[in-house]
Amino acid sequence: MVFNSSLDFAMNIHEYQAKQLLARYGVAVPLEIPAKSLAEVRPAADKIVASGSSRVVVKSQIHAGGRGKGTFKSGFQGGVKVAGSVDEAVSFAEKMLGNVLVTKQTGTEGRKVQTLLISEGCKIKKEFYLAVLLDRANSRPLIMASTEGGMDIEEVAEKFPEKIFKESIDPAVGIMPFQARKISAALGLKGDLFNAGVKLITGVYNTWWECDASMVELNPLAVVELRDGKETVMALDAKISLDDNALYRHKDILEMRDLNEEAPLEIEASKFSLNYIKLDGSIACLVNGAGLAMATMDIIQHCGSSPANFLDVGGGASKEQVTAAFKIILSDPNVKGILVNIFGGIMDCNVIATGIVAAVKETGLKLPLVVRLEGNNVVAGKKTLAESGVAIITGDSMADAAQKIVKAVSK
């Protein structure tokens, strides 16, 4: 059993977008309006008040949790604020929109808030947790529910595993009504709320399945008191991440992608079919294959340094790709040296060597560079590197190459 509650699993969307998807499948959500500029905030807040809500909630939309307890770099406290009037909502919005919010999940650099969600204030009676994800143990969808809403679910799972209710779904038939009833009962819902829970749980599962989501998470799912005194269940906060590989069949969801939330270097890398992830170390690596790339990071650490990135060039490694990769690597100021590790099974090592030499010349590389080449036509490849006139240190094995780059950088 694995929680996929990470920030970077597949494509993430904002809370307001997640709720738009959920609403399509019959999941109840509060009355709320996204605002991308200050000019949009007042009319949105006016509508909320006109609906009869005495309070207006202003929620920062970033792809990171812990928003309520976050702090803006300006010093303003809280990425989610409850206003008692339209004017107060607008004054909160002025302090949030366009400012950088730091939460426990954003890192110290924080994220710039570019959208606010203006929502009605709900009177919360109870909070629950509900999620749908893939259970890797049996390759089936799994619904998880807990009465401990609003908390860190991984902490609940560790301390009170008995408080997490799990229901495995047979993908051949989808969620059956009795399964939604079991979950609604496990949450302690009764009467009309029980039936509302069944409808909501079914809708959440259908959202996961129909949208090709990796995870749908409601935290909290809440019992709220409506203004007429009746109670119902609603998705008060929602997080959805989607399977990258399935986006080709969801053009509408693909449009929800917000490049502002992604690391610029990673976006640049993806343009060249490079899979790049920035890390905190000082030795950059350029490798073909995800497994070998991870192993190269590991061996750098084993040799006493730390990797500056994960970078998989895939099966190709053309001159254009290697040059692009070097440029991306070199834009990280922490990088002190580069390790290239290529196992050229099918591709010609000499072609790769030529690409590396060209990339070094084009980027005017000054940092130490160790290249380990192995595989098809490797002798010619090593000759090309040796005769290039470029300062390239060659490594004979992964261990040899890693030791050499760590030594070169520590000089």
Considering the complex, what minimum distance in angstroms separates the CB of residue 341 from other proteins?
Answer: 9
Q: Is 139 in the site for other proteins (CB under 8 A)?
A: yes
Q: How many residues does the chain have?
A: 411
Identify which range of 159-167, 196-204, 231-239, 293-301 contacts other proteins by CB under 8 A.
Answer: 293-301
**Nearest distance from C-beta of residue 63 to other proteins, angstroms:** 12
Using alpha carbons, list the distances in angstroms from residue 216 to 20, 26, 94, 130, 142.
13, 14, 31, 8, 11
State yes or no: residue 9 binds other proteins (CB under 8 A).
yes
CB nearer to other proteins: pick between 9 and 76: 9
DSSP assignment of 309-373 equals EEEE-TTT--HHHHHHHHHHHHTSTT--EEEEEEEESSS-HHHHHHHHHHHHHHHT--S-EEEEE
Contacts to other proteins from residues 160-189, by CB under 8 A: 170-172
134 touches other proteins (CB under 8 A): yes
In terms of CB distance, is 119 or 309 closer to other proteins? Answer: 309
Q: Which stretch binds other proteins (CB under 8 A): 31-39, 227-235, 286-294, 317-325?
A: 286-294
- Tell me which residue of 155, 158, 147, 2 sits closest to 65, measured CA to CA: 155
β-partners of residue 370 are: 339, 393
Nearest-CA neighbor of 259 among 116, 114, 117, 118? 114
What is the footprint of other proteins within residues 143-162 (CB under 8 A)? 154, 157
The mark string for 190-229 relative to other proteins (x by CB under 8 A, - otherwise) is -------------------x--x-x---------------
Tokens 């099918």 locate to: 346
In the shown chain, the binding pattern of residues 368 to 407 toward other proteins, with x for contact by CB under 8 A and - for none, equals ------xxx--------------------xxxx-x-----
User: Per CB under 8 A, which region of 5-13, 17-25, 118-126, 327-335 contacts other proteins?
Assistant: 5-13
Look up residue 77 and give its DSSP letter: B
Whether 114 and 16 have beta carbons less than 8 Å apart is answered as no
Torsion of CA 168, 174, 180, 183, to 10 degrees: 10
Instruction: Return the number of the residue (70 or 197) whose C-beta is nearest other proteins.
Output: 70
d(CA 27, CA 201): 8
Catalytic residue annotation: 129, 217
Helix (H) or strand (E) holding 178: helix 177-186
Say what angle helices 319-330 and 349-363 make with each other, to 10 degrees.
40
Tokens read off for 214: 């990796």
Q: For the CB of residue 108, give the shortest distance to other proteins in the complex, in Å.
A: 15
Please tell me whether residue 104 binds other proteins under the rule CB under 8 A. Answer: no
Positions touching other proteins (CB under 8 A) are: 1-10, 134, 136-137, 139-141, 154, 157, 170-172, 209, 212, 214, 243, 245-246, 248-249, 275, 277, 279, 287-302, 306-307, 310, 312, 315, 343, 345-346, 374-376, 397-400, 402
